[in-house]
């Protein structure tokens, strides 16, 4: 059965993103969650379940306790997932399904990361995603292989390809200037991008995403009671997610021209 229009987001909040040396994971969770609570006109004690997404948990085995300890919440179900860059997305899906199932009326989805404290920016350099086949593979390295193969397959010279990619970075940085809580607020030109240091050829510094500390939170409820909390509910129409082999070369028909 579809969850279309059965679940509504009634409150949202997010922290300032960037190199947040001034705070810890708990501070980020507080920034995002308190803003969401205020937006939805709820209190922590109104939340019936919490779904926490965190891709990098340096302490290991702490589950969703960073949320419980930080927000002084206890006695309710709290679940933590790790799903690479989609961990926060997965938390939102879990929260939506929990509401759609009829199990809860009001839940919270929160994602938080403190990547700068790891010392390697979340890239996990040296370990890779498979202990045998993926030693020292990184995100930029993986996407660089895809870009190179794409250029070769479709007859695009490296110069042309890098210029096309540069326009994406210019667009993204331009959009960031409109978001007060974004990590970067600096406009770039195509020339700036092309002159930047190479990280993994053909990808340069500005072709790669910034490694940020940050958090975001959503309060969800049943669609039929959403207007109790806000006059601007956002009704969820659906969601998408797919998982494949961590070894790209193991995927049937994979030719290194897509993610």
Here the CATH number for the domain that contains residue 68 is 3.40.47.10
Shared-domain flag, residues 165 and 202: yes
Give the range among 4-8, 66-70, 224-228, 247-251 with minimum mean pLDDT: 247-251
* Residue the block writes with tokens 């790790």: 82
Shared-domain flag, residues 57 and 155: no
Instruction: Please tell me what DSSP assigns to residue 217.
Output: E
CB atoms within 10 A of CB 151: 20
Q: pLDDT at residue 124 above 80?
A: no
| In a domain? residue 131 | no
| In a domain? residue 199 | yes
| In a domain? residue 246 | no
Shared-domain flag, residues 218 and 199: no
Shared-domain flag, residues 147 and 99: no
| In a domain? residue 128 | no
Peptide bond into 203 cis (omega under 30): no
Shared-domain flag, residues 110 and 24: yes
| In a domain? residue 255 | no
Q: Write out the residue range of the structural domain in which residue 70 sits.
A: 7-120+211-238
Q: pLDDT at residue 155 above 90?
A: yes
Alpha helix (H) residue ranges in 72-138: 87-100
Cβ(159)–Cβ(166) under 8 Å? no
Strand pairing partners for 15?
none
Shared-domain flag, residues 169 and 219: no
Structural element, H or E, at residue 7: strand 7-14
The residue from 161, 192, 207 where one domain ends is: 207
Q: How confident is the model at residue 207 (pLDDT cuts 50, 70, 90)?
A: very high
Shared-domain flag, residues 88 and 172: no
Q: Is 28 helix (H, G, I), strand (E, B) or coil?
A: helix
Shared-domain flag, residues 102 and 162: no
Q: Which comes out higher in pLDDT, residue 159 or 250? A: 159
Shared-domain flag, residues 144 and 184: yes
Report the domain count for the chain: 2
Shared-domain flag, residues 101 and 164: no
pLDDT of residue 254: 83
Shared-domain flag, residues 11 and 116: yes
Instruction: Please tell me what DSSP assigns to residue 3.
Output: -
Q: pLDDT at residue 210 above 90?
A: no
pLDDT of residue 252: 81
Cβ(27)–Cβ(214) under 8 Å? no
Shared-domain flag, residues 91 and 215: yes
The residue from 192, 207, 222 where one domain ends is: 207
Do the strands 7-14 and 213-222 form a parallel or antiparallel pair, or are they unpaired? antiparallel
pLDDT of residue 67: 95
For residue range 50-93, list pLDDT tens digits in order: 999 998 776 566 889 999 999 999 999 999 998 888 899 999 99
| In a domain? residue 163 | yes
| In a domain? residue 132 | no
| In a domain? residue 79 | yes
């Amino acid at each position: 059965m579809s969850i279309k229009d059965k679940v509504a987001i009634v409150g949202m909040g997010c922290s300032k993103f960037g190199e947040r040396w001034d705070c810890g994971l708990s501070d980020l969770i507080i920034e995002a969650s308190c803003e969401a609570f205020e937006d939805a006109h709820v209190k922590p004690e109104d939340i019936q379940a919490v779904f926490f997404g965190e891709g990098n948990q340096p302490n290991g085995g702490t589950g969703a306790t960073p949320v419980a300890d930080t927000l002084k919440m206890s006695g309710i179900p709290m679940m933590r997932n790790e799903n690479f860059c989609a961990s926060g997305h997965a938390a939102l899906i879990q929260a939506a399904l929990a509401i759609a199932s009829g199990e809860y009326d009001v839940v919270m989805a929160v994602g938080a990361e403190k990547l700068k404290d790891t010392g390697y920016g979340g890239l996990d350099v040296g370990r890779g995603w498979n202990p045998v086949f993926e030693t020292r593979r990184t995100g930029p390295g993986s996407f660089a292989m895809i870009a190179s193969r794409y250029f070769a397959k479709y007859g695009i010279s490296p110069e042309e390809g890098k210029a096309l990619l540069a326009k994406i970075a210019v667009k993204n940085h331009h959009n960031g200037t409109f978001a007060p809580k974004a990590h970067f607020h600096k406009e770039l030109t195509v020339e700036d991008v092309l002159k930047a240091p190479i990280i993994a050829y053909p990808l340069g510094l500005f072709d790669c995403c910034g490694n940020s500390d940050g958090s975001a939170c959503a309060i969800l409820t049943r669609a039929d009671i959403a207007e109790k909390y806000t006059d601007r509910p956002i009704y969820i129409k659906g969601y998408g997610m797919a998982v494949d082999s961590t070894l790209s070369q193991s995927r049937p028909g994979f030719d290194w021209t897509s993610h």
